[in-house]
Amino acid sequence: RDATDEHSTARLFELTARLLEQISADRPVVLVLEDLHWADASTRHLLAYLFRTLSTGRLMVVGTYRADDIHRRHPLRPLLAELDRLRTVTRVELDRFSHDEVGRQLAGILAEVPEAALVDEIFERSDGNAFFVEELARS
C-alpha cells in the first residue's frame, strides 16, 4: 500500500469515528456487528481504531462471533486480545443451551409445551445452539 492509500484509510477511520460520535451525542446508539469471525482486515483495523478513539457519546458496540471458529491463529484473535485490555469493553460469552433450556426456548417459540421427542431431536440436531434451535423449530 502506498502513502495515499494509508492517508485515505486514516481519513475514512477518522470520519467514521466522528460520525458515530455525532449521532450518539444526543441519543443512545447501538451498533451491532455480527459474525466478526468473518471480518476482513480492514474491518478489524477499523474496529480497533474506533475502540481506541471513541470515548464520548452514548454508543454501545455489540460484536458477535463464533468462539468455536476462532482457532489459535485466527486473525480476529489479536483484536480480541486488544479489546480485552480496554476497561470500556466487556466480553460476554454465551454457552450452548442445555436440554432443558432448549425445551424452554421451544415452548416460547411454539407457544405450547413441546413433546419430549421434539425437544430431544432439536437438542441433538442443534447441539444447543439457540439460533439453530429457532431455525429447526420453524422448519
Residue 53 and residue 50: Cα distance in Å, rounded?
5
Q: How confident is the model at residue 1 (pLDDT cuts 50, 70, 90)?
A: low
Residue 91 lies in a domain: no
Q: Are 81 and 70 in contact (CB under 8 A)?
A: no
Residue 94 lies in a domain: no
pLDDT at 2 over 80: no
Same domain membership, residue 119 and residue 70: no
pLDDT at 56 over 90: no
> 67-101 pLDDT, tens per residue?
888 999 999 999 999 999 988 899 999 899 999 99
Residue 64 and residue 73: Cα distance in Å, rounded?
18
Residue 47 lies in a domain: yes
Q: Are 31 and 59 in contact (CB under 8 A)?
A: yes
Same domain membership, residue 41 and residue 11: yes
What's the confidence (pLDDT) of residue 115?
Answer: 97
Same domain membership, residue 73 and residue 23: yes
For 114, the domain range is 99-138
| pTM of this structure | 0.76
The predicted model gives 133-139 an average pLDDT of 94
What's the confidence (pLDDT) of residue 4?
Answer: 82
Same domain membership, residue 20 and residue 72: yes
Residue 92 lies in a domain: no
Query: C-alpha grid cell for residue 9?
Result: 484509510
Residue 93 lies in a domain: no
Residue 46 and residue 51: Cα distance in Å, rounded?
9
